[in-house]
C-alpha cells in the first residue's frame, strides 16, 4: 500500500506537473476532509479564532477519545481540586497541560484520566516567566487553581495566592489566544478579612480582572472529598488523641461543598455560551453547618463516641503562633500545620457563607450534592475495626434515653 502511495505521489500529470502533497491528492481524487472538520459539522471546533473569545462547546461523540476543542493549561492540577478537574476535562476529550514543579511522580496519577497523550505533564517554575509562557503556548484555556492556606520558607501567602495569579493573568493577556481564563479564589475573599490568605485571594481577583476583564472568578467554600484538609486531619487527630478540639466553641458557620461539584462548575462555565465570562460565582454547599455539626457528621461516619475539648480563640492562636513566628527564622522546613493553623483559626473568627445576591451553582444549571452520605463515605477508612466495625452514634444511645 505504501508503494502504491509513493507511485501515486510521484506519477507525473499531463503537462509535466507532479502530485507532491496530500492537498493535491485530495483535490485530484475528491478526498473528503471530514477529519479536519471542513465538510462535517460534527467534527468542527466551535473555538473562536486566535485573539477572540467564544463558545467552547464539546463536539464529536463526547467521550475521552473525541476532540472537544479545549486545550487547557491547569495550574495547580496536582492539588486536591486539580485531580477532579483534570478528570472531568479529560473524559470529554479535552487536552490538558499539567504544569508541575515537584517530582516527576507528582502528575503521574493524572495521565490515566485521559486518552493516550491527552494529559501532558510539563515542568515549570512559577517564578520564571519563560516557563509559564512555554506551558501556555498551545493552550486556549487557562485555569488557575494555585493556592495554599499556610506559608513556607520559600513562598508566602502573597506569593502563592496573589503574585503568581497576577503573573499568570499578565502572561495570558500577552499570549493573545487565551479565550477563557478561570481564576479559582475562595469563599470569603475580602481585603477586610482577618485571614491573610483571604486578603491575598481578594488582591489576586482584582489583579486578574484588571488584566483580563473577561476572566471568570470561582469562589468555592471549604471543599470536602477524599483528600480534603478538614475532615481528614480531624479524623487523624481523633484516632491519635481520642478527642477533637473545637476552636471557638465550634459555633462558626460555613457551607462546605463537595469537591466534585466545584470541578463540575468550572467545566460548566467552560461549556456555556460565554455568559459566565467576567462574572464571579460563590460555590457553597446546599446546607449551612457549624464546626460542631460538621464534627458530629465526622464522628458518626468513623463510628467513634464524640469527645470534644472547647478551645477559646486566644488559646488556639497561642498554640499555633510559634510555627508562623519560626517559619522564616530556622534553616530547615517546618511541618505543615494541620488543625492548629493560625491563619485558618483567624478565618474561623467569622462566618463564611454564600452571599444572598451572589451567582451560585444554580446559575450554572447545577445542583450541589448534600454533604451527608456519599461525599463523606471516605471516612470509613478511619474506623478502627474496618469498614463494618462499630455502630452509629444514634444506635449507641439507649432507647430509655428518650421520654
Residues 6+ apart with CB under 8 A from 242: 307
HSE on the CB side for 182, CA within 13 Å?
27
HSE on the CB side for 197, CA within 13 Å?
21
Torsional sign, CA 174, 178, 180, 184 = negative
pLDDT of the residue at 66: 85
pLDDT of the residue at 305: 92
CA 323 to each of CA 41, 315, 327, 343, 344: distance values in angstroms, whole numbers, following the listed order: 59, 15, 6, 11, 13
CA 43 to each of CA 36, 58, 60: distance values in angstroms, whole numbers, following the listed order: 7, 10, 5
Specify whether the CB–CB gap between 293 and 260 falls below 8 A.
no
pLDDT of the residue at 322: 94
| φ, ψ at 192 (rounded to 5°) | -100, 5
Can you tell me the distance from the alpha carbon of 165 to that of 169, in angstroms, rounded to the nearest whole number?
6
pLDDT of the residue at 386: 82
Q: 280 has which bridge partners? A: 217
Place of cell 459555633: 251
Beta strands at 289-290 and 253-254: parallel, antiparallel or unpaired: antiparallel
- Nearest Cα neighbor of 168 from 219, 215, 126, 119 is 126
* 3-class DSSP string for the chain: CHHHHHHHHHCECCCCCECCCHHHHHHHHCCCCHHHCCCCHHHCCCCCCCCCCCCCCCCCCCCCCCCCCCEEEEECCCCHHHHHHHHHHHCCCCEEEEEECCCCCCCHHHHHHCCCCCEEEEECCCCCHHHHHHHHCCCCEEEECCCCCCCCCCCCHHHHHHHHHHHHHHHHHHHCCCCEEEEECCCCCCCCCCCHHHHHHHHHHHHHHHHCCCCEEEEECCEECCCCCCHHHHHHHHHHHCCEEEEHHHCCEECCEEHHHHHHHHHHHHHCCCCCCCCEEEECCCCCEEHHHHHHHHHHHHCCCCCEEEECHHHHHHHHHHHHHHCCCCCCCCCCCCCCCHHHHHHCCCCECCCCCCECHHHHCCCCCCCCCHHHHHHHHHCCCCCCCCCCHHHHCCHHHCC
Q: C-alpha cell of 340? A: 492548629
pLDDT of the residue at 259: 98
- Please write down the long-range contacts of 383-387, taking CB distance under 8 Å and 24 or more positions apart: 383/302, 383/303, 384/239, 384/304
Can you tell me the distance from the alpha carbon of 279 to that of 293, in angstroms, rounded to the nearest whole number?
32
pLDDT of the residue at 89: 95
- Nearest Cα neighbor of 56 from 118, 150, 142 is 142
Task: List per-block mean pLDDT (blocks of 10 residues) for the chain, which spans 403 residues.
Answer: 43 43 41 39 36 48 83 96 96 95 92 93 95 95 96 93 97 94 97 96 97 97 96 96 96 97 96 94 97 96 94 96 92 90 96 96 96 93 86 50 41
Measure CA 155 to chain center: 20
Can you tell me the distance from the alpha carbon of 61 to that of 39, in angstroms, rounded to the nearest whole number?
17
pLDDT of the residue at 392: 57
The region that residue 197 occupies, defined by phi over 0 for left and psi between -120 and 50 for alpha, beta otherwise, is: alpha
Amino acid at each position: 500500500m505504501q508503494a502504491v502511495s509513493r507511485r501515486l505521489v510521484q506519477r507525473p500529470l499531463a503537462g509535466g506537473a507532479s502530485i507532491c502533497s496530500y492537498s493535491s491528492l485530495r483535490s485530484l481524487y475528491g478526498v473528503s476532509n471530514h477529519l479536519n472538520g471542513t465538510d462535517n459539522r460534527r467534527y468542527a471546533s466551535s473555538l473562536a479564532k486566535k485573539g477572540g473569545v467564544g463558545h467552547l462547546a464539546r463536539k464529536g461523540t463526547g467521550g475521552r477519545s473525541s476532540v472537544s476543542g479545549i486545550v487547557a493549561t491547569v495550574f495547580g492540577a496536582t492539588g486536591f481540586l486539580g485531580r477532579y478537574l483534570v478528570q472531568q476535562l479529560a473524559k470529554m476529550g479535552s487536552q490538558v497541560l499539567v504544569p508541575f514543579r515537584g517530582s516527576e511522580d507528582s502528575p503521574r496519577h493524572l495521565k490515566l484520566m485521559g486518552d493516550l497523550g491527552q494529559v501532558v505533564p510539563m515542568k515549570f517554575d512559577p517564578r520564571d516567566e519563560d516557563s509559564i509562557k512555554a506551558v501556555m503556548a498551545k493552550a486556549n484555556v487557562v485555569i488557575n487553581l494555585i493556592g495554599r492556606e499556610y506559608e513556607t520558607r520559600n513562598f508566602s501567602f502573597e506569593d502563592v495566592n496573589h503574585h503568581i495569579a497576577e503573573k499568570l493573568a499578565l502572561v495570558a493577556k500577552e499570549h493573545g489566544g487565551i479565550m477563557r481564563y478561570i481564576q479559582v479564589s475562595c469563599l470569603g475573599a475580602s481585603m477586610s478579612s482577618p485571614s491573610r490568605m483571604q486578603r491575598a485571594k481578594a488582591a489576586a481577583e482584582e489583579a486578574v480582572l484588571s488584566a483580563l476583564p473577561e476572566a471568570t472568578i470561582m469562589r468555592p467554600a471549604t471543599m470536602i472529598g477524599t483528600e480534603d484538609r478538614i475532615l481528614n486531619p480531624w479524623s487523624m487527630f481523633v484516632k491519635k488523641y481520642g478527642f477533637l478540639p473545637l476552636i471557638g466553641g465550634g459555633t462558626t458557620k460555613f457551607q462546605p461543598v463537595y469537591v466534585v461539584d466545584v470541578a463540575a462548575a468550572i467545566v460548566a462555565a467552560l461549556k456555556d455560551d460565554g455568559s459566565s465570562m467576567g462574572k464571579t460565582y460563590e460555590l457553597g454547599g446546599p446546607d449551612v453547618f457549624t464546626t460542631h455539626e460538621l464534627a458530629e457528621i465526622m464522628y458518626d461516619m468513623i463510628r467513634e463516641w464524640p469527645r470534644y475539648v472547647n478551645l477559646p480563640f486566644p488559646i488556639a492562636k497561642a498554640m499555633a503562633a510559634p510555627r508562623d513566628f519560626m517559619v522564616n527564622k530556622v534553616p530547615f522546613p517546618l511541618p505543615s500545620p494541620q488543625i492548629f493553623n493560625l491563619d485558618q483559626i483567624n478565618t474561623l473568627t467569622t462566618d463564611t457563607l454564600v452571599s444572598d445576591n451572589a451567582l451560585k451553582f444554580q446559575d450554572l444549571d447545577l445542583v450541589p450534592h448534600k454533604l451527608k452520605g456519599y461525599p463523606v463515605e471516605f471516612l470509613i477508612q478511619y474506623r478502627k475495626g474496618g469498614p463494618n466495625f462499630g455502630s452509629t452514634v444514634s444506635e449507641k444511645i439507649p432507647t430509655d434515653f428518650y421520654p
